[in-house]
Amino acid sequence: MFELTPFGYRRVSAYNPFRELEEMSRNFWNDSDLPAFRTDIKKQDGNYVLEAELPGFKKEDISIDIDKDCLTISAERKSEENEESKDGNGFIRRERYYGSYSRSFNVKGIDTDAISASYNDGVLTLTMPEKAPEVPAARRLEIQ
């Protein structure tokens, strides 16, 4: 029987003498080439709107934590433990990655008590209102 394992995705490029060392390091440390999830931040009607792409995650697998001036978005995808079916057939190759992702953002000028979140079609949307600028109260000093 033939193998169903696809060939590696490689471009034809100039010779890289360190390619084998990089692959060995990646395999040793079990690094995946997955980038952190992508985000877009825009300002809209006095709010900052953060959109994070988290396709394939369930709403229960995503957590948003605020600690002082740091907002952290974490998402974890867990592996299914039962990899073999009843008839003894299992996976030949798995290309879906499992693990956790996390990104942190500075929310110093944000009213953290009024942040709202929604998750629809793999996109997490946070609406974050700006803090009202603190203007010192006018007062008169008395001369002693």
Average pLDDT of the segment spanning 86-102: 70
Quick one: how far is CA 47 from the chain centroid? Answer: 21
Asked whether residue 31 carries a pLDDT value surpassing 60, the answer given is: no
Nearest to 120 by CA among 51, 48, 49, 63: 51
- Average pLDDT (76-88) is 62
pLDDT score recorded for residue 1: 40
Give bridge partners of residue 48 from the DSSP assignment: 43, 128
Measured distance CA(47)–CA(91) in Å, rounded: 47
In this prediction, residues 27-33 reach a mean pLDDT of 59
